[in-house]
Amino acid sequence: MRHGNDYRKLGRTSSHRKALLKNLSIALIKYEKIETGLFKSKELQSFIEKLITQAKAGDSNAHRQVFAKLQDKIATKKLILEIAPRYTQRNGGYTSIHRTALRRGDAAPMAIIEFVK
């Protein structure tokens, strides 16, 4: 049974999973819309929404906290200065996931994750 298991392991070690979420987050911040596997996008949604909530403060401490998770100066700057200010009046729900087709090679469900306008 899956009682008390809070996250998807995605078939990876903890360090690989952390790197995957970091890289997907950077790509989402850079392009504001990406297509990936459905379960990866659901994990990414939880990860990026916590980052946006931290970034909404906009102070130097928020900058440090976001950079500690992303390890990318350009993505951190864009998240704090451009993306997070859009959602100052919003309490969560910063991203949306739309299912797309099944992947041709292995029939895995694919999804597009993007920031809410």
3-state secondary structure of 107: coil
b/e per residue 87-103 (b: at least 16 CB within 10 A)? beeeeeebbeeeeeeee
| pLDDT tens for each residue of 62-109 | 999 999 999 999 999 999 999 999 999 999 999 999 999 999 999 999
Instruction: Give the CATH class of 14-115.
Output: alpha beta
What is the Cα–Cα distance from 38 to 18, expressed in whole angstroms? 17
Average pLDDT over residues 39-55: 97
Rounded to two decimals, the pTM is 0.93
Domain chopping of the chain, boundaries: 14-115
Task: Report the sign of the C-alpha dihedral through residues 32, 21, 77, 66, in that order.
Answer: positive
What is the Cα–Cα distance from 62 to 69, expressed in whole angstroms? 11
Residue 30 has what pLDDT?
Answer: 98
Read off the tokens for 65: 């906290």
